[in-house]
Amino acid sequence: MPKKRPLTREESLARHREIALRAGRGELRLPEAIRAIREAEGLTQAAFAERVGLTRMRLLDLEKGRGNPKLETLQRICGPLGLEIGFVPGARATQKQE
């Protein structure tokens, strides 16, 4: 498998901003968010898993929506983006309030 081209600083920052915006709007489910965070860092599954203290298979399971990660694991994954774990109202909850 070919190596990924490292992201430029601008590309990485743009991806980080996009993830934060989508998360704030409630558009990211957990598996999508984990993969988006990894890709924003420009890392393979193996490299990202090592960085956050998981096996590659555990990371793969989380990206596929299998498993129930501990809060500590989520904090290690979100740390590179400065994101905090919390609840964000989804689209349906927002529409009901209007």
Please state the length of the chain: 98
Helix axes 9-24, 30-40, angle to 10 degrees: 160
Helix axes 56-63, 30-40, angle to 10 degrees: 130
Neighbours of 86 (CB within 10 A): 6
Whole-structure pTM value: 0.74
pLDDT at 95 over 60: no
- pLDDT tens profile 16-68: 889 888 888 888 888 998 999 888 888 899 999 999 899 999 999 999 999 88
pLDDT at 5 over 60: yes
Helix axes 71-78, 30-40, angle to 10 degrees: 40
Domains of the chain listed by start with CATH number: 9-84 (1.10.260.40)
Please enumerate in sequence order all residues whose Cβ is within 8 A of that of 54, keeping only pairs 6 or more positions apart, or say none. Answer: 62, 73
